[in-house]
């Protein structure tokens, strides 16, 4: 009954062009979308050595890892993998953005988080993926067979150490999100999201006041535990208060980033009580 309308493009990947390649077995991967990466190129698992899995690797190891990977380009709104599917691959988002979503039996959706260029998705010790991953924009992903990655862990513990590091950081970010969903008001939640976008931009050396929302109001609602109407109302309120300017629906300019940051940290006016 809830927000499922309009998501017809998020149906199972087997019905979508381009993703069928992903679901194919490793052995028979079609040449169209999947190809071996040139080992002399930069690590295919990483868009940026800063945030990726292979930051601590030297050139030799990079080449070795690159040989194990396959690069795939995906259209916006494509399912990368589906909640409940066998977790055969670990994916690195080389370009573009994606989101991780859990769906309840009655259609309620909850976005675990958004992922941006350079980040990793789909690593799990369980048999199946515990959530679905969908591209938000045009995206290039790089995938490696999970068993091969585990083999690499044995050969090069430094990669496993790096994975532990990424996992622990993601855990910390998820705990932050827990606080947002557990104790923040609608305004604080939206501010926290905008603030996290700023942080993601800054980590990639891009503008921190011009934000391109990667998602619809409904997507933001799923991420923040709100309805799309509430997200819209909050953004309007921010605009009226002069905190932001909306250029179209997706481009947001922060006029008072500090005020937003303050709200995002839960230090808003209500703290003055």
Partner DNA sequence: CGGGCTTTTGATATCCTTCAACTGTTGTGG
Partner DNA sequence: CCACAACAGTTGAAGGATATCAAAAGCCCG
Residues 6+ apart with CB under 8 A from 236: none
Chain residues 185-244 in contact with DNA, contact rule CB under 7 A: 185-187, 213, 216-218, 221, 225-233, 235-236
Q: Does 12 bind its own copies (CB under 8 A)?
A: no
φ and ψ at residue 176, rounded to 5 degrees? -60, -45
- Least CB distance to its own copies at residue 103 (A): 9
- Taking residues 136 to 155 in sequence order and writing x for each that binds its own copies by CB under 8 A, - otherwise, the string is -----------------xx-
Furthest-apart CA pair in the chain: how many Å?
64
- What does 218 bind: its own copies, DNA, none (CB cut-off 5 to 8 Å by kind)? DNA
Residue 169 found at the interface with its own copies (CB under 8 A): yes
CA angle 158, 159, 164 (to 5 degrees): 95
Among DNA, its own copies, none, residue 58 binds (CB under 5-8 Å by kind)? none
What stretches of 76-193 adopt beta strand conformation (E)? Answer: 79-81, 89-95, 98-103, 109-115, 120-121, 132-135, 139-145
Q: Does 181 bind its own copies (CB under 8 A)?
A: yes
Task: Check residue 127 for interaction with its own copies (CB under 8 A).
Answer: no
Among its own copies, DNA, none, the one that 169 touches (CB under a kind-dependent 5 to 8 A) is its own copies
Which residues sit opposite 72 in a β-bridge? 141
Angle at 225 between CA 256 and CA 2, to 5 degrees: 130
Residues ≥6 apart with Cβ < 8 Å to 59:
none
Q: Which residues bind its own copies (CB under 8 A)?
A: 1, 102, 104-106, 108-110, 112, 123-126, 130-131, 153-154, 157, 160-161, 163-165, 167-172, 174-175, 177-179, 181-183, 222, 224-225, 265-267, 270-271, 273
């Amino acid at each position: 009954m809830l927000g499922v309308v309009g998501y017809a493009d998020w149906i199972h990947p087997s019905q979508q062009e381009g993703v069928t390649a992903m679901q194919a077995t490793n052995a028979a991967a079609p040449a169209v979308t999947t190809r071996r990466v040139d080992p002399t190129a930069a690590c295919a698992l990483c868009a940026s050595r800063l945030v990726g899995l292979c930051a601590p690797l030297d050139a030799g190891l990079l080449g070795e890892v690159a040989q194990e990977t396959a690069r795939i380009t995906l259209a916006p709104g494509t399912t990368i993998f589906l909640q409940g599917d066998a977790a055969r691959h670990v994916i690195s988002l080389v370009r573009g953005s994606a989101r991780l979503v859990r769906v309840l039996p009655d259609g309620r959706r909850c976005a675990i988080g958004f992922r941006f260029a350079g980040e990793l998705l789909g690593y799990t010790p369980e048999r199946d993926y515990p959530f679905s991953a969908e591209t938000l924009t045009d995206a290039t992903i790089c995938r490696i067979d999970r068993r091969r990655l585990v083999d690499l862990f044995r050969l090069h513990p430094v990669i496993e150490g790096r994975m532990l590091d990424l996992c622990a950081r993601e855990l910390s970010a998820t705990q932050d999100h827990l606080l947002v969903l557990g104790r923040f008001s609608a305004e604080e939640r939206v501010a926290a999201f905008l603030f996290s976008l700023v942080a993601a931009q800054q980590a990639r050396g891009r503008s921190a006041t011009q934000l391109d929302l990667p998602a619809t109001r409904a997507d933001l609602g799923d991420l923040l535990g709100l309805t799309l109407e509430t997200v819209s109302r909050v953004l309007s309120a921010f605009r009226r208060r002069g905190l932001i300017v909306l250029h179209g629906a997706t481009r947001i300019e922060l006029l008072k980033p500090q005020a937003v940051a303050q709200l995002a940290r839960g230090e808003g006016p209500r703290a003055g009580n």
